[in-house]
Amino acid sequence: MATQYKNLINGKMVDNGKWLDVINPANEQIIGQVPDCGQAELDAAVAAARAAFPKWRATPIDERRAAILKISAAIKENHDELFRLLTSEQGKPHAQAAGEISGAAAIAAAQSTLSLDDEINEDSDKRLSRTRRVPVGVVGGIVPWNFPVMMALQKIVPAMLSGCTIVLKPSPYTPLATLRIMELIADIVPAGVVNVITGGDDLGPMITAHPDIDKITFTGSTATGKRIMETASKDLKRITLELGGNDASIVLPDADVKSVAEKLFWASFTNAGQICVAAKRIYIHEDIYDELSAAIAEFAKSVKVGDGAEQGTAVGPIQNKAQYDRVIELVQDAKDNGYKFLVGGDHDPNIPGYFMPITILDNPPEDARIVAEEQFGPVMPLMKFSTTQEAISRANNSIYGLAGSVWTSDAEQGVAVAEQLETGTVWVNEFLHLSPFAPFGGHKQSGFGVEYGKEGLSEFTYPQVITVAK
């Protein structure tokens, strides 16, 4: 029988006797089961979080920090077990899974150093006016399947630090490593402060609609984000939405082809392209297009796609069947329209697992679905441009505004282009780096609010102004 992973509710690991299967996307075998929860379990988790809130809010911040550091240490101590479990449920290669586990522990520790100090608005003969940040209460956290551990911690840590309590729901595709971490920390965190429950498609909407949850922090698709915003409007819940992206990379004519080729490849294909901030449209200046596209294609041929648990694998499977089918559909659309493939395009439907070969398209038109839509898979279109302004306007011609990158030998010129991109994050000559101290969030339909940094932390609070007459 597959290992059963329980939920954390009110400090105890529990189940309700109903189970959901979790499969390994590399071979479609069942690797674990998690509780299939509904309204009753959600009510219990929210009640526990509500009951724990007054005491946790009143706990000195240094004690809250210490609890976060203990969580970080527990993750570090169990690093090897956790990254293997993460690969088996998510599909990413061992090295990338290890990076997610150690990254989550490190970011939790770093974030725990943040604080929101009181601000003095007026200190005059007449009055003292001060703004303090007050925790909002019970937070509902909803997490996707591409970075399940990182995203869970990204929500749990600021909630705890700010003095909130949380009920978190992992994706039903990738709940195992998160629940294993909950088992490790169940005795470290006071009962009710952190609760994690699992369930099927109905559970997310129940969280969003729950009358005793004060704020939703969500990472996932733009379509789901819109549904959450709609439901949250019923009782004006606070919301933070980290949504989809269709990030553009702009390669200027002075970029060094050799060094950029490999970096652009990984900007696009890390985690099999399933990263919100992956490079999803690459615009290359016409002077270097042929040379750079050939170099990227050549490098792609050296990269092994396979089971993330096998040595040498650098790109794993797509995480789930629905996403696999969607990527196949986009590739088929490119074939039907006669677009040219530099590499890949043909998956083998007869092997187990959701494997798509590395696929690179040669200058498809701007309105091709593979360009206009977020692929979220190991598929990348390369496009040619003539002038920098043209590249900027094509990059900005998107409903999304999450991130982007600029590649050049002249950093100053890179910054000048970066400042014209309509996105929350822009990298010049690097990619995917996020800082726990800098706000991360999307413009346009990529999001609402931010995570990380003081700004991200403050979204778990509301400002209260206290004015005392003298």
Least CB distance from residue 145 to ligand NAD, whole Å? 5
Residue nearer to ligand NAD on the CB measure, 255 or 330 = 330
Q: Determine whether 455 is exposed, middle or buried from the number of CB atoms within 10 Å of its CB (0-12, 13-18, 19+).
A: middle
Residue among 430, 305, 307, 313 at smallest CA distance from 378: 305
Q: How far apart (Å, rounded) are the C-alpha atoms in residues 317 and 324?
A: 9
Least CB distance from residue 244 to ligand NAD, whole Å? 3
- Of 204, 308, 345, 456, the one binding ligand NAD (CB under 6 A) is 204
Residue nearer to ligand NAD on the CB measure, 208 or 461 = 208
Q: Which of residues 216-235 bind ligand NAD (CB under 6 A)?
A: 219-221, 224, 227-228
Q: How far apart (Å, rounded) are the C-alpha atoms in residues 138 and 214?
A: 5
- Of 35, 141, 192, 244, the one binding ligand NAD (CB under 6 A) is 244
Q: What is the DSSP letter of 237?
A: -
Q: Is 242 a catalytic residue?
A: yes
Q: Residue 76: enclosing H or E segment and its boundaries?
A: helix 61-77
Residue nearest ligand NAD by beta-carbon distance = 204
In 170-256, which ranges are E strands?
194-196, 215-219, 238-242, 247-251
Residue among 415, 467, 279, 468 at smallest CA distance from 360: 279
- Of 205, 253, 306, 357, the one binding ligand NAD (CB under 6 A) is 205
245 binds ligand NAD (CB under 6 A): yes
447 binds ligand NAD (CB under 6 A): yes
Q: Which of residues 131-190 bind ligand NAD (CB under 6 A)?
A: 142-146, 169, 171-172
Does residue 53 sit in helix, strand or coil?
Answer: helix
Q: How far apart (Å, rounded) are the C-alpha atoms in residues 441 and 197?
A: 26
DSSP output for 404-469: EEEE-S-HHHHHHHHTTS-SSEEEES--S---TTS-B--EETTEES-BSHHHHHHTTEEEEEEEEE
Catalytic residue chosen out of the listed positions 41, 242, 451, 459: 242
100 binds ligand NAD (CB under 6 A): no
Residue nearer to ligand NAD on the CB measure, 41 or 374 = 374
Entry field: residues in the chain: 470
Q: Which of residues 43-62 bind ligand NAD (CB under 6 A)?
A: none
- Of 41, 242, 247, 459, the one binding ligand NAD (CB under 6 A) is 242
- Contacts with ligand NAD by CB under 6 A lie at 142-146, 169, 171-172, 204-205, 208, 219-221, 224, 227-228, 242-245, 276, 374, 376, 402, 442, 447
The catalytic residue positions are 242
